[in-house]
Amino acid sequence: MNRGPREERAARAVDGRVVGAGPAGLAAAARLAAAGAGRVEILEREPNAGGLPRLCAHPGFGADPRGRALDGQGYARRAVRAARRAGAVLRTGVSVTGWAAPLALETTAPTGLATIEARAIVLTTGARERARPARLLPGTRPQGILTTGELLRTVSLFGHRPEPIGRRAVVVGAGPLAEHAVRLLRHAGVAVAAVLCEGPRAAIGGDLRVPVLTHTVVTELTGRGRLAGVTIRRTDGATDGPTGRARARTLACDTLVLTGDWIPEHELARAGGLPLDPVTRGPLVDAALRTGVPGVFAAGGLLRGGVPAVRAAAEGRAVAGAVLAHLVGGDSSPGLVGAAEV
């Protein structure tokens, strides 16, 4: 279809194109630029680079050169500085909308439409938590249901105030992410009614003093306009009362935080015809992180979801080596394996 005058796409070329400015993408771009890979650009659809760590004000992201613990925000700032100092060009607010060719991406930005060709493309679009629709939670469709990422964004926008979040929350999940959600809610002045964990353990810090209900799932959401409560049920066969039957009960809450259950942001990979791993739903890659399309690579949370920032950055640095080999003509055909095997 012919495009009108305002729909014409400007065309240009770069050497290395990185899609996604999270830990993996920034690390890959920094190493590529520092190694002299030519013009290296990073595209990020968000207005700010750094990925999810830029919203995290808690430690656990390694240490600075002096050995001081880094929080997520400090980690993200350091990664952005490193990429820029190495010579990579960072463009935020740019959305990749499709592929014009195997190594050419179509983009949309405030400056207009563009088609950008590259000698190599690295996909580091990360992962997201499954939201309520993907988890198939039955019941009404009230407000007050958040993923951890949405909770972080709300706090980042409005500060630690309970009004934009709610007054009483239930957290679904286990491990550090659920614990972080509890701490964030508490810090914002939101009471936490319980943490629900489908498995036998939730690994929630005892200092939080929050009820932890293991072997428990949400079976229904209630409330009109705003969440009023969640109906829960045990899954381990335990019974309540003299009837000897498992009994559902309702926890009153106006906020539900869904943590974990990651899914790769694979829309761009799928649109480009990259073979996907049937288990992780991320792109299939070989040991060098090459996808099924020559010249296209993938790393970080896109491959398996829920990858810690430090590990994603290490994978970004590793994929840069394979990209450099491709740019000098030493690349060979990939032997694809599942992401879990990399």
Residues of the chain with CATH 3.50.50.60: 5-128+262-341, 131-258
81: Cβ contacts below 8 Å, ≥ 6 apart: none
Edge to edge, the sheet with strand 249-252 lists 216-222, 229-234, 249-252
Q: Measure the CA–CA gap between 297 and 291, rounded to whole angstroms.
A: 5
pTM: 0.85
Q: What is the pLDDT of residue 74?
A: 93
What is the per-residue pLDDT across 249-265, written as a single tens digit (0 to 9) for each?
A: 999 999 999 998 889 99
In this structure, how many other beta carbons lie within 10 angstroms of the beta carbon of residue 10?
Answer: 11
Q: Measure the CA–CA gap between 75 and 127, rounded to whole angstroms.
A: 19
pLDDT-derived band at 60, boundaries 50, 70, 90? confident
Q: Mean pLDDT of all residues in the chain?
A: 88
User: CATH assignment of 5-128+262-341, given 3.90.1150.10, 3.20.20.60, 3.50.50.60, 3.30.2020.30?
Assistant: 3.50.50.60
Looking at the predicted structure, is the pLDDT value of residue 96 above 80?
A: yes
Helical packing angle, 23-34 and 72-86, nearest 10°:
30
Q: What is the pLDDT of residue 5?
A: 44
Most confident of 10-14, 141-145, 174-178, 246-250: 141-145
Which residues is 172 bridged to in the sheet? 196, 258
Q: What is the pLDDT of residue 46?
A: 94
Give mean pLDDT, residues 191-200.
Answer: 93
Looking at the predicted structure, is the pLDDT value of residue 318 above 80?
A: yes
Looking at the predicted structure, is the pLDDT value of residue 2 above 50?
A: no
Whose CA is closest to 7, among 91, 98, 118, 115?
A: 115
Give mean pLDDT, residues 6-12.
Answer: 65
**Calculated CA dihedral for residues 87, 92, 96, 102, nearest 10 degrees:** 0
Query: 153 or 283: which carries more pLDDT confidence?
Result: 283
C-beta of residue 320 within 8 angstroms of C-beta of residue 28: yes
Helical packing angle, 309-327 and 23-34, nearest 10°:
40
Tell me the CATH architecture of domain 131-258: 3-Layer(bba) Sandwich (3.50)
What is the per-residue pLDDT across 207-235, written as a single tens digit (0 to 9) for each?
A: 788 999 999 999 999 999 999 999 999 98
